[in-house]
Amino acid sequence: MNTIITIGRQFGSAGKEIGSKIAEECGIPFYDKELLSRTAKESGFCEEMMEIHDERPTSSFLYNLVMDTYSFGYNASSFGDMPISHKIFLAQFDTIKKIASEGPCVIVGRCADYALSDFDNVLNIFIYGEEEAKIKRISEKYNVDAKAAKDMINKKDKQRQSYYNYYSSKKWGRADSYDLCINSSKLGIEGTKKLVIQAIEDFENR
């Protein structure tokens, strides 16, 4: 096996769990939060700072407008005025490419599909779910009521969408931003995992 799998996901759709099971079954590394510590190690950013900015849009729209006039690059000496969130994004971008060049793996979120757009051996997956199923999952996982779960889902997905649409040239949640999109509520965690593994096989046999 030679394929890198990136997974975009709606909050509560079990995308992380499914990604982890795929990695386990294929015997390849899995990166979700693991990406943060790896990037921290390689870039020198502290992990807490990365956690704060993880898949969140930069704080102020106006600030971004101003910062957009600067070129990208996270070398502190030449781009001292770039917001920390941009620097972190670029450091993560580099780490994603480095990880991908080490061999097959599963990477969850963080615009990994966009970072790896020059790689041929990548399959980009998006996992989503039905509202009722997502609310149930989040309620149980965080021990909150349905209303609070729904608010968490809306907030998280809005953040992920802003982050993705800001940093990539694609639209979060649009089918054609990915190679394969699966409703995990309809196929279940095992069914979704099985389908992705089938897709990897078909992709590698072409």
Q: Which residues of this chain interact with a second copy, rule CB under 8 A?
A: 10, 123, 126, 128, 173-176, 178-183, 186-188, 190-191, 194-195, 198-199, 202-203, 205-206
| CB nearer to a second copy: pick between 105 and 123 | 123
The minimum distance between CB 105 and a second copy, in angstroms, equals 19
Nearest to 167, CA basis, from 108, 106, 115: 115
The minimum distance between CB 206 and a second copy, in angstroms, equals 6
| CA–CA distance, 55 with 53 (Å, rounded to integer) | 6
CA dist 194 to 18, 111, 126, Å? Answer: 10, 24, 15
The minimum distance between CB 192 and a second copy, in angstroms, equals 8
Q: How many CB atoms lie within 10 A of CB 89?
A: 24
| CB nearer to a second copy: pick between 151 and 204 | 204
The minimum distance between CB 177 and a second copy, in angstroms, equals 8
Nearest to 195, CA basis, from 48, 60, 2, 18: 18
| CB nearer to a second copy: pick between 144 and 197 | 197
